[in-house]
Amino acid sequence: MLLVPCPYCGPRNSVDLRYGGESQPRPDPATATPEQWRGYLYRRDNPADWLRENWYCRSGCRRWFTVERNTATNEFRHPPMPGDKRGGKA
């Protein structure tokens, strides 16, 4: 079982949440080329290390949040603060 620290509900079994994947900066829709958009849509860093990622608390508070997890050990760090929204810093 993977315990995910929801900033609003506290630790929750990951099956109660939806995994939202890597949190990557979103290109500016006004200036991005189609290639840049596709890069944002499809390509991933996929590190075996610390990763900033998004979660949706599906059966709890129904909010998105961003958290850091080590993908090699599944350890979480820096419990996210309420208000930390979906989408990484650009």
Site for Zn ion in 5-34 (CB under 5 A): 6, 8-9
Which one, of 81, 85, 79, lies nearest residue 5 by Cα?
A: 79
Site for Zn ion in 46-65 (CB under 5 A): 57, 60-61
Nearer to other proteins, 2 or 83 (CB): 2
Residue 39, C-beta contacts closer than 8 angstroms, at least 6 positions apart: none
Indicate which single residue of 3, 10, 58, 72 sits in contact with other proteins (rule: CB under 8 A). 72
Indicate which single residue of 26, 38, 58, 77 sits in contact with other proteins (rule: CB under 8 A). 38
Contact 87, 53 (CB under 8 A): no
Which stretches does DSSP call E strand in 1-90? 3-6, 10-13, 18-22, 50-56, 64-70, 76-77
Does 59 bind other proteins (CB under 8 A)? Our answer is no
Does 35 bind other proteins (CB under 8 A)? Our answer is yes
